[in-house]
């Protein structure tokens, strides 16, 4: 079965369904990024503080405490499962676009690597591997860029005449 470019041959109803899905999914995805920004997790020290707390910092404007075992396991579990489903669905859509095969494979596989590095990295950071905050930041940025590029490609090709 030839998948490359299959998106152009889909019926209008399926294209509208995919378009609506991509829009709503992206609202959810980018709202999550707004939350990350609000918790000051957009820099390496903010990431560390969010999960390890800042009780020792007398100048802290917002007091944060180290996450409990249950909080960390819930966060890692929920994010890995939900993002695996998100990137599986987006990967299926990328698979039917017309793209260079190497780029397509990168866009399909990379988010799964970033999910493991980001949320596994948060867990390892919480366990005391402080340098993981840089891995978490890099993989989170790469995951966001890959997601954004993937949905832009799908959306563009969805309504493009062949």
Q: What pLDDT, on a 0 to 100 scale, did the predictor assign at position 49?
A: 86
Q: Rounded distance, CA 96 to CA 2, Å?
A: 9
Q: What pLDDT, on a 0 to 100 scale, did the predictor assign at position 54?
A: 84
The pLDDT tens digits for 68-125 are: 999 999 999 999 999 999 999 999 999 999 999 999 999 999 999 999 999 999 999 9
Output the CA torsion sign for 108, 111, 114, 120.
negative
pTM for the complete prediction?
A: 0.91
């Amino acid at each position: 079965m030839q998948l490359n470019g299959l998106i152009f041959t889909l019926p209008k109803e399926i294209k509208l369904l995919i378009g609506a899905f991509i829009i709503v999914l992206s609202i959810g995805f980018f709202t999550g990024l707004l939350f990350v920004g609000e918790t000051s997790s957009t820099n390496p020290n903010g990431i560390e503080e969010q999960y390890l707390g800042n009780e020792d910092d007398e100048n802290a404007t917002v007091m944060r405490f180290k996450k409990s075992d249950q909080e960390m396991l819930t966060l890692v579990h929920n994010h890995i499962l939900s993002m695996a489903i998100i990137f599986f669905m987006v990967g299926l859509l990328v698979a039917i676009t017309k793209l260079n095969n190497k780029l397509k494979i990168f866009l399909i596989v990379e988010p799964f690597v970033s999910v493991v590095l980001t949320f596994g990295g948060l867990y390892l950071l919480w366990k005391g591997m402080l340098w993981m905050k840089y891995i978490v930041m890099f993989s989170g940025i790469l995951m966001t860029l890959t997601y954004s590029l993937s949905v832009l490609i799908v959306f563009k090709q969805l309504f493009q005449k062949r």
